[in-house]
Amino acid sequence: MEGLFSRTYRAATAGFAAVMFLTGLAALAVVPTLPTAVRDLDGVELFPLVAGCFVAASLLGGVLGGHWADRSGAHRPLAVGMVLAVLTLLVSAASGSVWQLAAGRFVDGVAGGMIAVSINAAIGQAYPDRLQPRALALMSACWIIPSLVGPPLAGLAAEWWSWRAVFYGLAALTALPALAVVAVLRRRSWQPASVPVQDDTPRPSLMVALAVSAGAALGQYGASGWDTRHLLFAAAGLALLVLFVSQLLPTGTWRAARGLPATVLLRGLSSGVFFTLEALVPLMLVTGRDVAPVVTGLAFTGAALAWAAASWVQGRLPQRTPRHRLVVVGASVQAAAVVLAAVGSLPGMPPVIAASSMVVAASGMGLLAPSLTVLSLTHAPHGRQGYASSAMQTNQNLGQILVLGVASAVFNAFLSAGSNDHAGYAAAFGLLLVPGILAAVLATRARSS
C-alpha cells in the first residue's frame, strides 16, 4: 500500500475513504429507522416509496455525476454531492409529512449516485493503473464498519431519542468530512491525470435519466397498494423504464456486446442476484422460520466481512491476473449461494443454511464488483471514465430493482396459486440461478485485450 499512500495520493485517498465510510453509514443506518418514521408521520402505506426512492434517485445522480466528471473532472460533482447529502439529511430530519421524508430520501439518492460515480471516475482519472484495484478495494472496505455498527446504533438512537436524531446526527458527522474533501480537491496538486476529450460515444440525456428515476419511483409507489390507482402508477413506471432505460446504457448492453456493454450488463446481473438474496433470505427467516432478529443481523455482519475479505484478496493478486476470470469465479460462487438459499428454504432445513447463503454470495460480490469496475475503466473511451462509471451505477440499480421485482412476482404467484411459503421461496431462489449462470457464461465478453 506504499504507492497508494504516497505523498501524491495520500490526501485524496483519505478524503475518498472518509466519504465512502460516511456514505455507507448514512445509507445503512437510516434503513432501520424508516418504519418508525413513516408510522410517526401517518404514512405507513407509503413505506415502499420511502424505502425505494433512494435507489431510484441514484439512477439520476449517477448520470448527472458522470456527465459532470467527464466535463470538468470528478472533484466538482463529488464536492457538490457531499454538500447536497448534508442538506438532504437535514430536510429528512425536519420532515413534517411522509411526502417531505420521501422527497428528502429522493434527493439524498441523487447525491449518493453522484458521490459513488465521482469517486470511481476520480480513481480512473488520477490513479495509475497498478493502484486502481487497491484503491477500489479500499473503497469497498470502507463499508465494513458502517455495515457492522450502523443499523444497531441507529436502532438504539431511535429507541432512546427519536428517528430524527439519526438524521441530524448523520448530518453533523458528514459536514466536517464534506468540507475537508472540498478543500483537498481544490488544491492544484490534485489534478486528474487525463484531460476530458470529445468522442463519438453517445451521452445519455439528463432528461432521460430523470424519466428512468421517475419510472422507478412510480413503480415503488405502485407497490404500496393493489387498487386501480396503484396498478396504473406501476404500469406507468414500467412504461417509462421500457422506453428510456436503454438510452442510459452503452449500445449493445442487452446483447452483451464485447467490452464496456458486456461489463455493464454483468454488473446489473450480479447486483440483482446479491441484493435479492439479501432481501428475501431475511424475510424468509423472520416470517417463515421465526428466527430471532439477531440471527439475521449476524448474517448481514458475516456478509459484510466476507465481501471485504474477498475484495482485499482480489486487490492483492498479481496485476497480470485476468479480471474476467475473477468475474467467472465470483459469479460461480453466487450461483452456489443461490443453491444454498433454495435448499435452506425446504421444510426441516436448519435456518443456518439459508443464512450462510448471504455470506457466500457476498464473497462472490467481493471478487466481482472491484473486478468489473476495473474492467469498465479499462474499456471506457478516452476521457470518459465518468460515463463508464455512470453506466455501471445505473445498471447496478436497475438490476436490484428488476431482479428483485421478478423474484417477488414469482413468489407471490406461488402463494396466489395456493402453494406454501417454502415452495414460493424455493421458486424465487431457483429463478436467481438464471442471471447468476448467465453472468459466468458472459464474463469472457468483458475481458480486456
* Alpha carbons 227 and 250: distance in angstroms, whole number: 37
Structure pTM? 0.67
377 falls within a domain: yes
Looking at the structure, do residues 83 and 141 belong to the same domain, yes or no?
A: yes
Looking at the structure, do residues 357 and 328 belong to the same domain, yes or no?
A: yes
Looking at the structure, do residues 118 and 221 belong to the same domain, yes or no?
A: no
199 falls within a domain: no
Looking at the structure, do residues 290 and 306 belong to the same domain, yes or no?
A: yes
Q: Considering only CA atoms, which of 177, 206, 182 is closest in space to residue 67?
A: 206
Looking at the structure, do residues 166 and 236 belong to the same domain, yes or no?
A: no
CATH number assigned to the domain comprising residue 288: 1.20.1250.20
Q: How many helices (H) and strands (E) does the chain have?
A: 17, 0
User: Total domain count for the chain?
Assistant: 3
Looking at the structure, do residues 181 and 224 belong to the same domain, yes or no?
A: no
195 falls within a domain: no
Q: Classify each residue of 6-29 as buried b or exposed e, where b means 16 or more C-beta atoms within 10 Å of its C-beta.
A: eeebebbbebbbbbbbbbbbbbbb
Looking at the structure, do residues 222 and 135 belong to the same domain, yes or no?
A: no
The domain boundary, picked from 248, 274, 299, lies at: 248
Looking at the structure, do residues 236 and 262 belong to the same domain, yes or no?
A: no
pLDDT tens across 282-317, in order? Answer: 777 766 777 765 566 677 778 878 888 898 888 788
196 falls within a domain: no
194 falls within a domain: no
Range of the domain at 124: 1-187
Looking at the structure, do residues 217 and 359 belong to the same domain, yes or no?
A: no
Each residue's pLDDT, cut to its tens digit, for the chain (449 residues) gives: 444 445 556 666 766 777 777 777 777 767 667 767 777 888 766 665 776 678 778 778 877 887 787 777 777 788 888 888 888 889 888 888 888 988 888 888 888 888 877 877 777 766 777 666 677 767 766 766 776 676 667 666 766 788 788 888 888 887 777 776 666 666 544 444 444 444 445 555 677 877 888 887 777 676 555 567 777 887 888 888 888 888 878 888 888 888 889 999 999 999 989 988 887 787 777 667 777 655 666 777 788 788 888 988 887 887 777 888 899 999 999 999 999 999 998 888 888 899 899 999 999 999 988 889 888 888 877 766 667 877 887 788 788 777 877 777 777 777 767 777 788 888 889 999 999 999 999 999 988 76
